[in-house]
């Protein structure tokens, strides 16, 4: 029996090992006793420092099991986070933001994005955010007076809601290539990017002046 099937079957006796692919590499470039696992759906690639090669079989099994558990738990967590929006209560929907959401939804998503919570925030640095756990899009007050820019940020956050995140390869990526391509589909997206930069700059200046006078 290979070391990985021992590790796996001991940990998950109810799972069918044939459903998974495993690959172990001992890497000479790794720091001593460093190890990680990268996984895509049902496929695990273990990378172990060369030092592990001479460690006893039992201890190596322990290491592989720890890495397996970590990978499975992260996978469970990610799947949970991708679905949790269904259960999140929608109790905070600002009507002004709702108009923006509806406009963007009609124009770019044929009305298919389910309405999340829609709230304002006062941060200048972050113009928008989407929180998976509470299913909430939050938009900076600095965008209140600029409808097209607000819609553009709304669109960005709606893409996050729609695409969730790409958790293949063991790391989460939010702004994937596919995400950026869709983002550019927004009307005049280049102009909008410039506009956001200038809004952010203005916001910074105002904040500086404010904190300066506040300090006097
Ligand atoms: Zn983003």
CA 178 / ligand 1 centre spacing (Å): 13
Residue 214 three-state SS: helix
Q: What is the pLDDT of residue 213?
A: 37
pLDDT at res. 215: 33
Residue 153's CB is within 10 A of a number of other CB atoms, namely: 24
Cα first-last separation, the chain: 75
Query: pTM above 0.85?
Result: no
Cα 147 to middle of ligand 1, angstroms: 19
Q: Helix 57-83 vs helix 3-11: angle between axes, to the nearest 10 degrees?
A: 50
Q: Ligand 1: distance of its center to the CA of 162 in Å? A: 12
In tens, the pLDDT along 73-126 reads 888 888 888 888 887 888 899 999 999 999 999 999 999 999 999 999 988 778
So what's the pLDDT on residue 171?
A: 57
The CA 111 to ligand 1 mean position distance, Å, reads 21
Mean pLDDT score of the chain, rounded to an integer?
87
What tokens appear for 123 in the block? 């941060």
pLDDT at 208: 54
From ligand 1's centre to the CA of 27, what distance in Å?
35
């Amino acid at each position: 029996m290979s070391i990985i099937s021992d590790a796996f079957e001991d940990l998950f006796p109810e799972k069918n090992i044939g459903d998974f692919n495993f690959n172990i590499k001992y890497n000479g470039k790794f720091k001593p006793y460093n190890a990680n696992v990268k996984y895509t759906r049902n496929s695990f690639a273990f990378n172990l420092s060369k030092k592990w090669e001479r460690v006893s079989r039992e201890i190596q099994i322990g290491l592989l099991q720890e890495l397996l558990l970590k990978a499975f738990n992260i996978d469970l967590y990610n799947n949970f986070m991708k679905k949790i929006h269904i259960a999140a209560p929608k109790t905070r929907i600002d009507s002004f933001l709702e108009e923006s959401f509806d406009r963007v939804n009609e124009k770019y998503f044929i009305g298919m994005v389910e309405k999340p919570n829609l709230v304002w925030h006062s941060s200048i640095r972050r113009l928008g955010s989407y929180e998976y756990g509470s299913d909430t899009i939050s938009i900076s007050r600095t965008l209140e007076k600029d409808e097209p820019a607000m819609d553009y940020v709304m669109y960005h956050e709606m893409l996050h809601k729609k695409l969730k995140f790409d958790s293949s390869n063991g790391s989460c990526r939010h702004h994937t290539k596919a995400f950026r391509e869709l983002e550019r589909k927004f009307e005049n997206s280049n102009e909008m990017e410039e506009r956001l930069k200038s809004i952010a700059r203005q916001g910074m200046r105002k904040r500086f002046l404010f904190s300066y006078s506040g300090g006097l």
